[in-house]
Amino acid sequence: MTIRKRSATDIVVMGAFLLLTLLILLPLWYVLVISLSTAKSYAMDSIHLWPRTISLAQYKLVFGNAEVMRSFGVSVIVTLAGTAFSMLMSIMGGYSLSKKGMPGRRFLLTMVIITMFFSGGLVPYYLLVRNLGLNNTFLALILPMAINSFNLIILKNHFVSFPLSLEESAKLDGYNDVQILVRIVVPLSIPVIATIALFYAVGYWNDYFQATLFISSNKMYPMQVVLRQMIIQQTVVGLRGMNGQTIEQFKMACVVVGMLPMLAVYPFIQRFFSKGIMIGAIKE
């Protein structure tokens, strides 16, 4: 290893990345500033990059808005239940498929990988979920998304590299394979499991597509659907009794509430990313 002083090149590279970082954060910052400004200071400025006075008034409105809060609750429930179910399925599948020498393993793995490239497409999928009678149930938001093959393969690759000796000594203690998975393998695989759980949680939290296809009752809409109706389709959901200017601010406060849970969790899981978790994923 060679140790060098910080050269001019280092400064240029760091400066460029600092600029890039600010540029990437700018849109998020912009939304935050609009949502935190008082109505008066919002009206005074045409570029909202620094709040003159900070106010939580819009957030009080958001948290007092029944429709937005109900959709927030739906999203929380779907995300928690969905992530738990996805992890159960993916860990069971990934762990079992990591067992070299199991008859049929190669075949099953190939069947999994095929689905990463081929699918029946939207129409057969849409008809299938409807024919299963899942529309207008929360199951339609969870069951079809239960396994992501990419995530399953990452888990499988991790379990392949899990030290066999630990499992063997547990077997001598009289554990069966399920007990070994639950008591030995899972507790020692927290970094990978936390990472994959985050990927699933983001998928559930950010989903609007399943609900658009299969949910027709307002009361069961997740937050992303309500945000979409409010901002992209510009249909007034729960915006009654607001004047034009504060609607912009209200929308941006909803955007912040809609993205905050994932942005808040991710930095805690981020330290696990670099540990080569992803690298095995593309080798299959």
Q: Which residues between 44 and 83 bind other proteins (CB under 8 A)? A: 45-49
Restricted to residues 241-280, the positions that interact with other proteins (CB under 8 A) are: 248, 251-252, 255, 258-259, 262-263, 266-267, 270, 273-274, 276-279
How far apart CA 111 and CA 98 sit, in angstroms, is 15
Smallest distance from the beta carbon of 267 to other proteins, in angstroms? 6
* Binder among 39, 202, 239, 242 for other proteins (CB under 8 A): 202
- What is the size of the binding site for other proteins (CB under 8 A)? 92
Other CB atoms within 10 Å distance of the CB of residue 2:
3
CA dihedral 57, 59, 65, 69 (to 10 degrees): -170
DSSP 221: -
Shortest Cβ 13–other proteins spacing (Å) = 5
Evaluated on CA atoms 47, 51, 57, 61, the torsion sign reads positive
User: Would you state the structure tokens that stand for residue 66, as one six-digit string?
Assistant: 């029944």
Please say which residue, 122 or 236, places its beta carbon nearer to other proteins. Answer: 122
Mark residues 3-42: x for contact with other proteins by CB under 8 A, - for none. -x-x--xx--xx-xxx-xx--xx-xx-xx--x--------
162 lies in the site for other proteins, by CB under 8 A: no
**Whole-angstrom distance, CA of residue 84 vs CA of residue 79:** 8
> What single DSSP character describes residue 145?
G
Query: What minimum distance in Å lies between the beta carbon of 93 and other proteins?
Result: 4
Closer to other proteins by Cβ: residue 118 or 219: 118
| Secondary structure of residue 54 in the 3-state scheme | strand
CA distance 250 to 143: 33
d(CA 53, CA 138): 42
Q: Among 8, 64, 66, 117, which residue interacts with other proteins (rule: CB under 8 A)?
A: 117
Q: Is 118 in the site for other proteins (CB under 8 A)?
A: yes
Of 72, 200, 205, 250, the one binding other proteins by CB under 8 A: 205
Q: Which one of residues 177, 186, 191, 242 is an interface residue with other proteins (CB under 8 A)?
A: 177
Residue 169 has which token pair? 């000594």
The single residue among 59, 162, 208, 272 that binds other proteins, judged by CB under 8 A, is: 208
